[in-house]
């Protein structure tokens, strides 16, 4: 490859078919443009060649064009491969700066064979063998002293991704007709001369320890002059994590993360950090490992392995997914009479099992649909829907209970007026002269706020005094959805006096809570014959009534 430095105005000479680099030095990271002065009769004064590092694809030879050089060093050079006569002309490199405005450099590219006098012109690089006719073979002096610049003990040092010039020099013979060729692994990469030939490469880490050869030939030499160098390319570490990416692990299991690195010069430090940027382990060698014990869901995320040397930092990352059995909650939208079973697990693909409805004492009342949401039917007596509802769900991951099925439960309790449970007897019995004992079993939520009892006889109603009425908490038996279950409720008792013949009648129980009132009738019948005592006073019954 042929390269030439440029000033504000300079000329580059190149052989047809060779490669030319027109250099343009601008402030680092500054954007520049390349244009070619138009020599045709067209109204366009210039032809755009490049904007920044983008080549104009409308050009017929755009495949031969490239912007090369290290942008961080301000190198925005136009490279033209396979130069032909149509490439001759004036090229303009432009850039703008705040301090000095528009700046331009003109480079004239010519394709020709130079004369000996041309070689003495400043700013001219030569690729030509056109001097041979100026001398007879007897007058020729051999080229000598082949050298490769910046070579120390046969090694040239460079850095990955940064432009590197390899320059081969020779003390030219007379006339200066020698041909210099650079080889990469025995493959020729550029030819030029006399006196000096440079090639510019942008090495990668794969070029480390590669050999480049410089070969000088001339008609005056029986054997070519040769010299070679080995590249020492320095590069930041490359890091590899030695587990699949991504990796899935179950919560509370152990996880080992290991990584290795390669860098030139050697890695000075390695460390592994978690997704929360917490350093888990530090190592001062090219391998590093850490063991995460009983990993938790909060530790899921991106784990990184980082290695550093004097050139820079390299890293690799792995995404850790922690799977765990769902935690489950149940929400109750009372206005919609819907229970929502809400799992939170990973993976989030769930299987819902049948809902279970239990009494508050733990007895199964019924099994319901295997859906995420449970609609409580409004046609059912509201109090019968009370109890415990259990949701069962799984995502295939075992929980700490050793089962894949996870459970949540909630209690449902609707407010309603007092309910007379199925345990009650419509007809109750007593004996003449024995204590009265009438019982009514009631479920009530909210709690009972008042009870009145009236004796109904001959279309008359008389209220029982409150002192004969008691209310006690009680465990009752009721039929809920065709299942006999126990529920918490109240037992209302009428007690405190002995029965007379006038007491065997119907009793009206009026039971109230904050929602409403329920009326219940109980008929008191005689359990057997009774004897009327001669000293019975009719006033006894009246004394029971208010």
Query: With the C-alpha atoms ordered 292, 293, 299, 301, is the resulting torsion angle positive or negative?
Result: positive
Specify the pairing of strand 427-430 against strand 517-526: parallel
Q: From 251, 261, 254, select the one nearest 283 (Cα to Cα).
A: 261
Q: How confident is the model over 115-139, as pLDDT tens digits?
A: 444 444 444 444 333 333 334 444 4
Q: What is the mean pLDDT of residues 324-328?
A: 96
- Which pLDDT band, with edges at 50, 70 and 90, does 43 fall under? low
Whether the pLDDT of residue 208 is over 50: the answer is: yes
Q: What is the largest CA-CA distance in the chain?
A: 175
Average pLDDT in the 269-276 region? 86
pLDDT at 65 over 70: yes
Which pLDDT value is given to residue 76? Answer: 87
Residue 333 banded pLDDT, cuts 50, 70, 90: confident
Check whether 7 has a pLDDT greater than 90: no
Please work out, in degrees rounded to the nearest 5, the angle formed at the alpha carbon of residue 223 by the alpha carbons of 219 and 224: 80
Residue 520 has pLDDT above 90, yes or no: yes
Question: What are the extents of the domains in the chain?
Answer: 9-120, 132-235, 326-414, 417-544
Q: List the end-to-end C-alpha distance of the chain, in Å, as a whole number.
A: 125
Assigned CATH for 9-120: 2.60.40.10
pLDDT of residue 42: 62
Our CA dihedral for 156, 159, 161, 167, rounded to 10 degrees, sits at -20
Distance from C-alpha of 118 to C-alpha of 124, rounded to nearest angstrom = 8
> For 97-115, what is the mean pLDDT?
75
Taking the C-alpha atoms of residue 64 and residue 54, their distance in angstroms, rounded to an integer, is 13
Q: Residue 118's pLDDT is what? A: 45
Residue 541: its pLDDT value, please?
39
Percent of the chain exceeding pLDDT 90 equals: 65
Does 533 have pLDDT greater than 80? no
Q: Give 403-407's long-range contacts (Cβ < 8 A, gap of 24+).
A: 404/325, 405/353, 406/325, 406/326, 406/327, 406/328, 406/343, 406/345, 407/328
What is the three-state SS of 277-297? CCEEEEECCCEEEEEECCCCH
Neighbours of 538 (CB within 10 A): 8
Tell me the mean pLDDT in the region 398-407. Answer: 93
* Predicted TM-score (pTM) above 0.75: no
What is the mean predicted confidence (pLDDT) over 102-123?
64
Residue 8 pLDDT = 67
User: Is 417-544 a CATH 3.30.9.10 domain?
Assistant: no
Rounded Cα gap, residues 65 and 506, in angstroms? 113
Give the pLDDT score at 68.
87
Tell me: the pLDDT tens digits for 345-387?
999 999 999 999 999 999 999 999 999 999 988 776 888 999 9
CATH assignment of 132-235, given 3.90.650.10, 1.25.50.10, 2.60.40.10, 3.40.50.300? 2.60.40.10
Structure tokens at 257: 């993360």
Domain 326-414, CATH 3.30.70.120 — does that match?
A: no
- What six digits make up the tokens of 526? 């005689």
């Amino acid at each position: 490859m042929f390269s030439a430095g440029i000033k504000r105005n300079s000329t580059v000479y190149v052989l047809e078919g060779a490669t030319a680099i027109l250099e343009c030095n601008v402030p680092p990271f500054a954007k520049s443009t390349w244009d070619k002065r138009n020599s045709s009769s067209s109204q366009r004064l210039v032809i755009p060649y490049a904007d920044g590092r983008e080549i104009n694809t409308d050009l017929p030879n755009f495949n031969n064009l490239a912007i090369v050089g290290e942008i961080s060093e301000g190198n925005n050079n136009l490279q033209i491969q396979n130069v032909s006569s149509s490439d001759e002309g004036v090229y303009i490199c432009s850039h703008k700066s705040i301090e000095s405005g528009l700046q331009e450099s003109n480079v004239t590219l010519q394709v020709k064979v130079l004369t000996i006098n041309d070689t003495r012109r400043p700013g001219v690089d030569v690729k030509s063998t056109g001097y041979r006719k100026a001398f007879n073979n007897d007058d020729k002096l051999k080229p000598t002293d082949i050298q490769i610049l910046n070579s120390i003990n046969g090694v040239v040092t460079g850095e990955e991704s940064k432009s590197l010039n390899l320059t081969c020099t020779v003390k030219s013979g007379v006339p200066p007709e020698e041909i210099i060729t650079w080889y990469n692994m025995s493959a020729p990469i550029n030819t030029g001369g006399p006196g000096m030939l440079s090639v510019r490469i942008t090495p990668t880490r794969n070029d480390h320890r590669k050999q480049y050869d410089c070969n000088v030939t001339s008609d005056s030499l029986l054997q070519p002059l040769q010299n070679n160098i080995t590249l020492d390319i320095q590069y930041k570490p490359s890091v590899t994590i030695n587990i699949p990416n991504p990796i899935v692990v179950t919560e509370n299991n152990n996880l080992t993360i290991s990584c290795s690195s390669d860098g030139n010069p050697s890695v000075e430090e390695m460390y592994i950090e978690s997704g929360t940027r917490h350093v888990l382990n530090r190592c001062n060698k090219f391998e590093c490992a850490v063991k995460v014990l009983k990993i938790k869901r909060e530790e899921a995320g991106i784990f990184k392995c980082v290695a550093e040397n004097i050139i820079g930092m390299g890293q690799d990352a792995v995404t850790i997914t922690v799977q765990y059995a769902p935690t489950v909650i149940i929400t109750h939208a009372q206005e919609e009479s819907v229970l929502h079973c809400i799992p939170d697990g990973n993976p989030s693909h769930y299987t819902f099992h049948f809902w279970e409805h239990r009494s508050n004492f733990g007895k199964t009342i019924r099994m319901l649909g295997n859906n995420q949401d449970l609609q409580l039917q409004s046609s059912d007596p509201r109090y019968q829907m009370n109890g415990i509802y259990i949701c069962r769900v799984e995502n295939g991951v075992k929980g700490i209970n050793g089962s894949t099925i996870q459970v949540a439960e909630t209690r449902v309790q609707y407010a309603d007026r007092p309910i007379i449970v199925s345990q009650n007897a419509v007809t109750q019995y007593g004996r003449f002269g024995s204590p009265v004992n009438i019982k009514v079993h009631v479920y009530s939520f909210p709690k009972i706020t008042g009870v009145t009892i009236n004796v109904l006889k001959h279309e008359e109603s008389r209220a029982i005094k409150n002192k004969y009425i008691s209310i006690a908490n009680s465990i009752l038996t009721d039929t809920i959805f065709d299942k006999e279950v126990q529920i918490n409720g109240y037992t209302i008792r009428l007690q405190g006096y002995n029965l007379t013949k006038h007491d065997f009648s119907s009793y009206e129980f009026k039971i109230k809570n904050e929602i409403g009132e329920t009326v219940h009738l109980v008929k008191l019948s005689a359990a057997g014959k009774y004897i009327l005592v001669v000293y019975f006073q009719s006033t006894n019954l009246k004394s029971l009534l208010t």
